[in-house]
Amino acid sequence: MAMELDVFVGNTTIMDEDVYLLWLDGYTVSDAVSMRMKSGILEQCGASQDVLESDTMDHYRTFQMTERLLHNPSKLVNQLLFQIPPHRQNMLIERWGGGAAIVKITVQKCYKILNPFSPSLAPSLPPSLALTGRYYAFDEAFVREVLGKKLSKGTKKDLDDVSAKTGITLKSCRRQFDNFKRVFKVVEEMKGPLVENIHQNFLLSDRLARDYAAIVFFANSRFETGKKKLQYLTFEDFAFCAEQLIQNWTLGAVDSMVEDMDVDLDKEFLQDLKDLKVLITDKDMMDQHKSLVCTALRGKLQVFSEMEGSFKNLSRGLVNIAGKLMNNKDVRDLFIDLVEKFIEPCKSDKWSLNDVRLFLTQHTNSVRALDAFKHQAVWERYMRVIQSCILKMYHD
């Protein structure tokens, strides 16, 4: 006595937002059914559990069939298999692409937020809420685990650990990982701006495209983000840093029509960074630099004496980081170095963010007054990024 077969197919494809979220989240059908039941949907509609099971199965099948298209969203626009009305299609596209800010709430939370609304009201929900569950959206917890890791089979094998650690279902982890990898593969070798390429090929919103650009960039250069000291940093911090790096340190920052332009760092520039060493090796120059900074900051800095005391260490730290960047391995350690060599010392001396900002600005600008220093352009290109990254990273 069993239902051997049970399907429902509409000429216009019906997609339930709540079920979509659950599916994206990697819940099994039976889990999804019990979660939907808890939401009180049955009472609202006077339906039974069988009905809910059958409905959930239908949706899961539909999503599985659409998944192939979601992998290549541009196909979705002119595919014939599912008739998704254009306005709905746009919504669907936006859905993968909506604001990543909301992604910080784990999808599970989103579900709870959605629950009070009856699904019949779903279309009328404010778009920001209705669009939370997205195929290309990712969990903050998850992305922090894999950010900067090689998007390889090896990493994929370790996803069960990630799943156990983050509490995100393995299925969902795999989907998110595959999304990263898919986007990476497509845009890796493309000419033109990275964000634009992602935007075009995956129809993602600008916001999400930027996030993906960061993920691709980090995966390509394999920046270390997982060390304990870096745990306090959020994905948004890194995404911001990635954007700075892309805009200032890559080939694309110099020439806009080369391959890999936004993905790889400008090697020539990294080589040139060696020349900055003179700032710390030349004792006169260093003293002159220090006095310039101290004069300018006197009275403005709350931690003036501490600054005075640690100027040489901090300055040495910043310039040493620059000097090492020609080695790939040291590039990977960029963020850990920034934390160890600069952020931690400042924090231990209880610098405020404003102190850091004033110091870095002055530190960068004062170099212009050093007549003996010949590498102003390289210095400024370097410090522009370092300064904004440190400021972004300087929090608890």
Partner 1 sequence: MPGKLKVRIVAGRHLPVMDRASDLTDAFVEVKFGNTTFKTDVFPKSLNPQWNSEWFKFEVDDEDLQDEPLQITVLDHDTYSANDAIGKVYIDIDPLLSSEAATVISGWFPIYDTIHGIRGEINVVVKVDLFNDLNRFRQSSCGVKFFCTTSIPKCYKVVTVHGFVEELVVNEDPEYQWIDRIRTPRASNEARQRLISLMSGELQRKIGLKVLEMGGNAVVGYLQCFDLEGESGLVVRAIGTACTLDKLSNPSAALLPACNSPSKEIKEVPFSEDPNPNTHSSGPSTPLKNQTYSFSPSKSYSRQSSSSDTDLSLTPKTGMGSGGSAGKEGGPLKTLLRQQTQTALEQREFPFFTLTCFPPGFLVHVGGVVSARSVKLLDRIHNPDEPETRDAWWEEIRQEIKSHAKALGCHAVIGYSESTSICEEVCILSASGTAAVLNPKFLQDGSLDGCSEHRLSRQPTYFSTGSEKGEFDFLPLSKDSSSVLGLEEPSPPSCGFCHIPYDELNMPFPAHLTYCYNCRKQKVPDVLFTTVDLPVEAAVTGKGCLIQARLCRLKKKAQGEANATAISNLLPFMEYELHTQLMNKLKLRGMNALFGLRIQISVGENMLVGLASATGVYLTALPTPGGIQIAGKTPSDITYEQHISNMQKKINDTIAKNKELYEITPPEMSEEIIGSPIPEPRQRSRIFRSHSESSDEISELDLSHGKKDAFVLEIDDADAVEDIHSLLTDAPLPAGFYSCNTEIMPGIYNWTTGLQMFTSVRVFRLNNVNLTNQGLNKIFNDLCENLLKSLYFKLRSMIPCCLCHVNFTVAVPEDELIQVAVTAVAMTFDKDQAQESWKASVDKALMKVIAENEEQLQFPLELCSDSPGAQPFSPRKGTAASVEYSSFANRCNSWIELVKVKALTIRRGSIKTTSSLEKASPQALGHARVRSTTAYTGSTITVVKMTPLSFIPGAKIVKYVGIINMFFIRETTSLREEGGVSGFLHAFIAEVFAMVRAHVAALGGNAVVSYIMKECVFMENPNKNQAQCLINVSGDAVIFVRESELEAIPVQPQTTSSQASNGGADVTT
Shortest reach from residue 16's CB to partner 1, in Å = 8
Nearest distance from C-beta of residue 48 to partner 1, angstroms: 7
Does 30 bind partner 1 (CB under 8 A)? Our answer is no
User: Exactly one of 48, 128, 295, 376 binds partner 1 (CB under 8 A); which one?
Assistant: 48
> Min. distance of Cβ 311 from partner 1 in angstroms?
57
**Is residue 350 a contact point for partner 1 (CB under 8 A)?**
no
Nearer to partner 1, 78 or 116 (CB): 78
Helices (H), 28-106: 29-38, 41-45, 49-70, 73-77, 86-97
Which of 183/280 has CB closer to partner 1?
183
How far is residue 96's CA from residue 81's CA, in Å, rounded to a whole number?
20
Residue with Cβ nearer partner 1 (64 or 327): 64
Q: Which stretch binds partner 1 (CB under 8 A): 3-11, 165-173, 212-220, 341-349?
A: 3-11
Contact 49, 33 (CB under 8 A): yes
State the Cα–Cα distance between residues 135 and 351, nearest whole angstrom. 42
Closest CA to 389 of 253, 243, 231, 222: 243
| 191 touching partner 1, by CB under 8 A | no
Q: CA-CA distance, 307 to 348, in Å (whole number)?
A: 12
Compute the half-sphere exposure of residue 19: CA atoms within 13 Å on the CB side of its CA.
Answer: 23
- As a dihedral over the C-alpha atoms of residue 275, residue 279, residue 284, residue 285, rounded to 10 degrees, the angle is 100
Asked if 6 touches partner 1 (CB under 8 A), the answer is yes
Considering the rule CB under 8 A, would residue 14 count as an interface residue with partner 1?
Answer: yes
Q: Three-state DSSP class for 95? A: helix
Minimum distance from CB of 63 to partner 1 (Å)? 12
- Residues 211-270 close enough to bind partner 1 by CB under 8 A: none
Q: Is 37 or 278 the residue whose CB approaches partner 1 more closely?
A: 37
CA 325 – CA 334 distance, rounded (Å): 8
Based on the shown chain and the rule CB under 8 A, indicate whether residue 127 belongs to the binding site for partner 1. no
CB nearer partner 1, residue 113 or residue 122: 122
Torsion angle in degrees (nearest 10) through CA of 7, 13, 14, 20 = 90
Q: Which residues contact 323 (CB under 8 A, 6 or more apart)?
A: 273, 274, 276, 277
- Nearer to partner 1 (CB atom), residue 57 or residue 151: 57
**Binding to partner 1 in span 54-113, by CB under 8 A:** 54-55, 57-58, 61-62, 64-65, 74-75, 77-83, 85-87, 89-90
Give dist(CA 378, CA 57) in Å, integer.
59
Q: Which stretch binds partner 1 (CB under 8 A): 119-127, 140-148, 157-165, 314-322?
A: 119-127
2 near partner 1, rule: CB under 8 A: yes
Type of residue found at 289: H
3-state SS, residue 378: helix
CB-count burial class (<10 Å; 0-12, 13-18, 19+) for 235: buried
Kindly state whether residue 183 participates in binding partner 1, applying the rule CB under 8 A: no
How many residues belong to the site for partner 1 (CB under 8 A)?
47
Is 123 among the residues that bind partner 1 (CB under 8 A)?
Answer: yes
User: Shortest Cβ distance from residue 375 to partner 1 (Å)?
Assistant: 46
- Tell me how far apart the alpha carbons of residues 58 and 71 are, in angstroms, rounded to a whole number: 20
The answer to whether 95 and 135 are in contact (CB under 8 A) is yes
Q: Which range, of 42-50, 224-232, 249-257, 321-329, touches partner 1 by CB under 8 A? A: 42-50
Q: Which of 3, 116, 228, 371 binds partner 1 (CB under 8 A)?
A: 3
Q: Which of 394, 313, 384 is nearest to 353 (CA)?
A: 394
Q: From the CB of 137, what's the least distance to partner 1, in Å?
A: 22
Using the 8-state DSSP alphabet, how is residue 173 labeled? Answer: H
Instruction: Tell the smallest beta-carbon distance from residue 190 to partner 1 (Å).
Output: 15
Binding site for partner 1 (CB under 8 A): 1-14, 45-48, 50-52, 54-55, 57-58, 61-62, 64-65, 74-75, 77-83, 85-87, 89-90, 119-120, 122-123
